[in-house]
Chains A and B, each alone.
Chain A
């Protein structure tokens, strides 16, 4: 009896060591496969993300031919090469290599979830020159008009965002007004039937510009002009 229990014990040891061996083997194989997949796709994913950012920047800054990334940290604007901390600010340059505008991200609670968007700001006209919705899960057919309705998008071709004389806030905050009631250049004409989503876009723009513009506009000299001959790929691979 003693012998049988001993062999049984031995078998159960063998069993569990077999289990541990198998699990280790399989975990190793899967770890290896995942690492290979990550390594192979990493450059492609980074390139895709760069293209997505670039397309968004060029869409919100119509004159831009090149772009560079900056960060706003502790009220100080600096290039992304110096430090990666802070709020991302993208500078767009026109065909002469001069600064044509800056782009930044804004977000606000929409109807179903947070709406994230990128907007372009032109310091020369002190206005917003375009928006691009980066993420939204608004209702198809209603809230998704914020990026499909051409009349609504036309609101952001030259939406006034002028700072007051002390450069402490906007002269007139950006507001969304009822459909058909836009009378001032800083107002956004809402989409009828998608008021919540339209208001969210207005709120996102207002919150972001009220915070960023007073801090950034006086430091625009930090953004140096670029070489107009340089293609954009070179500007970013530095």
Chain B
């Protein structure tokens, strides 16, 4: 573990990096979606519409921050804080470059899984505390969805742990010097990516929000910066999942010529682009389809992946 004095500059750098990433992401997503849907997207404020982010932030801050009188007040206020805190905490163990980790925990991978499993409380509490039927339905859906997809999110990365022999994210990256884990663990990668999108409830899996059936799902009653925190939390979560995919399956900071940090950012950006493309390309499944897909397809596949990886590893090494 780093000592506090050397850790503080890294913390500040990582925090600023994530927030600027997330802010640019909002704009990039809207522009890219616009391109893929044959329209412009935001293009009025500043060059190419980049200023849209600043204007949106100002708008969110000066809007009335209203807590409905029928809401359960304290959980209502805590809920948006949880998602932001939890998403940001995950970055504490992500190795951006060699040595540039806030805390390279021995159980780094488990830490990220634990943290992401706490994220569900934000949405459940938001749904419960709003005291609104649509919000409650959104909260219930998210609880069922995230619990189901967490199961094989954890199982799918165990192949990587077997191959690298460590839960430490830094060591997992180092173990990919000769080959990225996406090659031996392609199935694991696919399962982890699908589960990761479901965990951040991005569009193909955004049933907790589902605006055509549930108004806006769990955040129907939220306004102003509390609503903004849900949005920022979602984008930060997206960056976190992309960073995890890059770290676990695509060699993290490893790459020729360019400095490690640049490689890491390029890979993360590529995955974020893929997420946005998925949002533009795939329609939302029905709720029972989502659950059946999780338990009847993804769970057996991830168990199979685990058994085959273990068997092959033993065959090669023992």
Same complex for A and B? Answer no
Binding site for B on A (CB under 8 A): none
